[in-house]
């Protein structure tokens, strides 16, 4: 009986792990942005790898990814609110699906979206500070929230591909096997 109760308790503790992932990403993003804001002037750079390959810089972005759609704060807040609500709804209907990559990916997208939402709502801008240069191409600056969103989307795509392959495989297996 104790083993069953312990197993159920562990399952209950882990049931909402995707919200913990979102919270951890949100907090790491928040802390990293505060460190940059407090310790670096806007435009200042710190070379991490090579002269240009990877730098930490202090940039303010009033737009979306890659600095597009500058000064569209209300639009971003509305879209992010809808995205966050949709993710929470989708997490709830899939929480017992066993699709761990999907749930982790959604948690990461939620945490990243809320990290940038928080900055836009309070300050009207997002602090970007990670920058890579590949030859003559300078990749647009980004932050941990952006990284979480990208990694989360990657996990969601992987889950979709593998779930689809399993579904196709089940349709082609003869019933005698």
Residue with tokens 């303010």: 60
| Between 13 and 109, the higher pLDDT residue | 109
Is the pLDDT at 3 greater than 80, yes or no?
no
Percentage of the chain with pLDDT > 90? Answer: 64
Is the pLDDT at 63 greater than 80, yes or no?
no
* Gap between the Cα atoms of 84 and 170, Å rounded: 33
In a domain, 58, yes or no: yes
Q: Which residues are catalytically annotated?
A: 128, 146
Beta partners for residue 142, in sequence order: 130
* Gap between the Cα atoms of 101 and 67, Å rounded: 29
In a domain, 11, yes or no: no
**What value does the mean pLDDT take over residues 53-67?**
84
pTM: 0.82
Q: Which of 41, 46, 54, 53 is nearest to 127 (CA)?
A: 41
- pLDDT score at 164: 79
* Gap between the Cα atoms of 36 and 124, Å rounded: 17
* Gap between the Cα atoms of 70 and 86, Å rounded: 25
**What value does the mean pLDDT take over residues 8-13?**
52
In a domain, 127, yes or no: yes
- CB contact at 8 A, 133 and 52: yes
In a domain, 61, yes or no: yes
In a domain, 4, yes or no: no
In a domain, 95, yes or no: yes
In a domain, 6, yes or no: no
Beta partners for residue 133, in sequence order: 138
* Gap between the Cα atoms of 42 and 57, Å rounded: 8
Q: Number of structural domains, the chain?
A: 1
Q: What pLDDT digit, counting tens, does each position of 88-118 carry?
A: 999 999 988 888 999 999 999 999 999 999 9
Residue with tokens 């996990």: 155
User: Average per-residue pLDDT in the chain?
Assistant: 86
In a domain, 8, yes or no: no
Structural domain boundaries, residue 42: 17-170
Q: What pLDDT digit, counting tens, does each position of 117-174 carry?
A: 999 999 989 999 999 999 999 999 999 999 999 999 999 999 999 887 776 666 655 6
**What value does the mean pLDDT take over residues 47-61?**
93
Question: According to DSSP H, which parts of 15-143 are helical?
Answer: 17-39, 73-94, 100-123
């Amino acid at each position: 009986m104790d083993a069953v109760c312990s197993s159920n308790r562990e399952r209950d503790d882990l049931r909402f792990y995707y919200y913990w992932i979102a919270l951890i990403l949100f907090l790491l993003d928040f802390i990293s942005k505060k460190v940059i804001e407090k310790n670096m002037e806007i435009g200042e750079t710190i070379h991490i790898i090579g002269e240009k390959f990877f730098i930490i810089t202090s940039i303010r972005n009033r737009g979306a990814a890659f600095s597009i759609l500058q000064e569209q704060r209300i639009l971003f807040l509305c879209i992010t609110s809808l995205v966050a609500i949709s993710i929470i709804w989708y997490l709830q209907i899939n929480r017992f699906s066993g699709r761990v990559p999907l749930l982790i990916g959604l948690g990461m997208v939620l945490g990243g979206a809320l990290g940038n939402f928080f900055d836009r709502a309070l300050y009207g801008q997002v602090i970007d500070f990670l920058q890579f240069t590949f030859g003559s191409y300078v990749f647009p600056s980004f932050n941990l929230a952006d990284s979480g969103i990208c990694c989360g989307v990657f996990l969601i795509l992987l889950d979709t591909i593998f779930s689809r392959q399993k579904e196709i495989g089940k349709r082609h297996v003869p019933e005698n096997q």
